[in-house]
Structure formats: structure tokens, C-alpha cells
């Protein structure tokens, strides 16, 4: 299992469409993806789970990936978040 | 005086729910403004609209803000303006929640918020024949 902390930097935070992109990204991999915000942790392949994080800009999330393709999974998720979910701002 | 109520949703969902609640109750639901959030055109500009509407309906008893999808932009923007206002947000609006809220309009803000959650949850059931 590997993990990394990433900060939400897009202007609108982790809103519905961004959450969908995150879940689509996580679901491409076999590894289990767990996302933690503070003491709360959710399944990174569940849209409702991701939405209930209500992660606004500036929020730190701990992304955990566990499985055969964990390195690629973690890398892809971190890249998506750092690329502001492709929103440009 | 009674608690102010504001509905903030994606598009016209809030206005439609309000219209149907009025049909069910058979009367006009006074002074419940709706804010229709448009993801593409509003962005963070929605903040000002939401803030102004919350302040507009607060007669001193506070404001209950009903939103649709938890974690989505309408709910995220409302959560940003809760600070500094006597206001509570309840997510997951449905007709059951809206009707329940209106029936307890004369109660305190905290009480109505709890009633909203219970009304909303009670309206969601699995049925099969």
C-alpha cells in the first residue's frame, strides 16, 4: 500500500463533475483506492463517497492505493487533482 | 417572525420542487426564494447571489438553506457563506423534505433543520410487490 497527500487547488473544489472524473480515474485501476479527509475515509471509486467529502479548495486529502497497479493509480489520481480536474482554474 | 428558507440547486430543480410542493399542499408557499445555479456560467459568482438571498429572507430568526447534491457546487458554495450568518444548510432536498419544512415554519431554525432531515429521509423507501 502506498499513499500521498494532495491539496485540492481548483477554484470550485471537489464538486460533482470533478468527483465523477476522480472516480472514473480510480476505477480504471484494479487497486483499492481509499481517500481520507481528516478522520473520514471513503472508497475512491464511489461517487457518493467522494461527494460526501465536500472538499473545498485548500483541503488536504490523503490518497491511498493498494494493489498490483497502485503506483500508476496513485500517480494518475494525483496528476488529475494537480491538473485541476482539467478545468483550467 | 419565522425562519427564512432558501433553496439553492442545480438549474431549476428548486423552483420545480417548490411548484410541486405548492400543488400538494394546495397553497402558495410564501417567500421561499430559489437560486438556480448554473455550473458553466455562474462559478464563484454564485456566492454573491446566495449570500444576498440568505440575508434577504433572514428576519432575525435565521435561515434554513436547502440544497440538492452534497459535495456539488451549489452545496459547496452555500457552505462557504454559512460563516457569519445564522444559517443552517440541509442537503438532499426532496418533496418530502420541503413539505415537512413548511409545516414547521414557525419553529426554531435548529428544530426545522432536524425536521427537514427526518422528512427527507422518511420520503426515501424501497418498495416492491
Q: Is residue A60's pLDDT more than 70? A: yes
Contacts of B76 in chain A (CB under 8 A): 12-13, 15, 54, 56
Contacts of B43 in chain A (CB under 8 A): 11-12
Question: What CA–CA distance (Å, rounded) separates B113 from B65?
Answer: 9
Alpha-carbon torsion (B35, A24, A85, A78), positive or negative: positive
DSSP code for A51: H
Question: What CA–CA distance (Å, rounded) separates B26 from B46?
Answer: 32
CATH numbers and ranges of domains, chain A: 2-86 (3.30.1340.10)
pLDDT at residue A77 in the model: 98
The answer to whether the CB atoms of B71 and A11 lie below 8 A apart is: no
The mean pLDDT of chain B is 91
Residue A24 designated active-site: no
The distance of Cα B51 from the centroid of its chain, to the nearest Å, equals 13
pLDDT > 70 in chain B, percent: 96
Element (H, E) at B80: helix B73-81
The single residue of A15, A51, A62, A84 carrying the catalytic annotation is: A15
Given the DSSP bridges, would you call strands A2-7 and A32-37 parallel, antiparallel or unpaired? unpaired
As a whole number of Å, the CA-based R_g of chain B is: 14
**Residue of B37, B46, B71, B92 to mutate for A, most A C-beta atoms under 10 A:** B71
A55 phi and psi angles, rounded to 5 deg: -85, 110
Which residues are bridge partners to B29 per DSSP?
none
Q: Is residue B94's pLDDT more than 70? A: yes
Rounded mean pLDDT of B97-117? 94
Give whole-number Cα distances, B108 to A46, B31, B82, B94, in Å.
36, 17, 17, 21
Cell match 445564522: residue? Answer: B86
State pTM to two decimals: 0.86
User: Taking a contact as any Cβ pair under 8 Å apart, which residues of chain A between 35 and 64 contact chain B?
Assistant: 50-56
CB pairs under 8 A between A and B: 37
**Which pLDDT tens digit goes with each residue over B17-64?**
999 999 988 888 778 999 998 865 666 778 889 999 999 999 999 999
Q: Is A61 exposed, middle or buried (0-12, 13-18, 19+ CB in 10 A)?
A: buried
Rounded mean pLDDT of A29-33? 98
Task: Report yes or no: A4 at the B interface, CB cutoff 8 Å.
Answer: no
Rounded mean pLDDT of B87-114? 94
pLDDT at residue A43 in the model: 97
Contacts of B69 in chain A (CB under 8 A): 16, 51
CATH numbers and ranges of domains, chain B: 4-122 (3.40.50.510)
Amino acid at each position: 500500500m502506498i499513499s500521498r497527500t494532495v491539496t485540492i487547488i481548483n477554484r470550485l473544489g471537489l464538486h460533482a463533475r470533478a468527483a465523477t472524473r476522480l472516480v472514473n480515474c480510480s476505477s480504471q485501476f484494479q487497486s483499492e483506492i481509499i481517500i481520507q479527509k481528516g478522520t473520514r475515509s471513503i472508497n475512491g471509486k464511489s461517487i457518493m463517497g467522494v461527494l460526501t467529502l465536500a472538499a473545498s479548495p485548500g483541503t488536504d486529502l490523503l490518497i491511498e492505493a493498494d494493489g498490483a497497479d497502485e503506483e500508476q493509480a496513485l500517480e494518475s489520481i494525483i496528476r488529475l487533482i494537480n491538473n485541476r480536474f482539467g478545468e483550467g482554474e | 417572525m419565522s425562519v427564512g428558507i432558501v433553496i439553492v440547486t442545480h438549474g431549476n430543480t428548486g423552483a420545480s420542487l417548490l411548484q410541486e410542493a405548492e400543488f400538494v399542499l394546495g397553497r402558495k408557499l410564501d417567500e421561499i426564494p430559489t437560486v438556480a445555479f448554473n455550473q458553466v456560467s455562474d462559478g464563484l459568482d454564485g456566492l454573491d447571489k446566495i449570500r444576498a438571498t440568505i440575508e434577504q429572507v433572514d428576519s432575525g430568526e435565521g435561515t434554513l438553506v436547502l440544497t440538492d447534491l452534497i459535495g456539488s457546487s451549489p452545496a459547496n458554495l452555500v457552505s462557504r457563506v454559512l460563516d457569519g450568518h445564522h444559517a443552517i444548510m440541509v442537503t438532499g432536498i426532496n418533496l418530502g423534505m420541503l413539505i415537512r419544512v413548511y409545516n414547521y415554519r414557525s419553529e426554531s431554525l435548529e428544530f426545522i433543520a432536524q425536521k427537514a432531515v427526518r422528512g427527507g429521509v422518511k420520503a426515501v423507501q424501497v418498495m416492491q410487490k
